[in-house]
Amino acid sequence: MTETLVVGGALCRDGRLLAARRSAPPELAGRWELPGGKREPGETPEQALVRELREELGVEAEPVERIPGEWPLKPGYVLQVWTARLLSGEPRPLEDHDELRWLGPDESDTVDWLDQDRPAVAEAVRRLRAEGGG
């Protein structure tokens, strides 16, 4: 059985990481994640990420590099995360989210991340610190 790939974007701007609060499904509502979604047939993971960030946030973004590792979600689904750079637009919670927050490296633990996002968030924050010296 082929696993369905879910792509997440560690979207960074000005030394901050974008966190998105889920509004659906009910069992995830109120918890925070890196925005993204399922890869469609025929898409590369990077293409899927660009499309998902456009659909969910209304922005154009560019995948930068994949964060090592992958994390199981529900059965048959696996998460991979890329760091991404915002090219244009101001992120808005258009689909599946009701709030967005830009978090600095020292604020990353102020929201209740989904468990499977935590390792990628920790790595994204480590990279932010390395870039910004914060």
User: 4-28 pLDDT, tens per residue?
Assistant: 999 999 999 999 999 999 998 899 9
* Residue 51 · residue 134 · CB < 8 Å: no
Share of the chain above pLDDT 70, in %: 98
- Altogether, the residues listed in the chain come to a count of 134
3-state DSSP assignment of residue 20: strand
pLDDT score, position 133: 55
pLDDT band at 2 (very low <50, low <70, confident <90, very high): confident
Q: What are phi and psi of 69, to 5 degrees?
A: 105, 165
| Rounded-to-integer distance, Cα 134 and Cα 131, Å | 8
Rounded to two decimals, the pTM is 0.93
Contacts of 90 (CB under 8 A, 6+ apart): 58, 59
pLDDT score, position 55: 96
- pLDDT tens digits, 57-98: 999 999 999 999 999 998 999 999 999 999 999 999 999 999
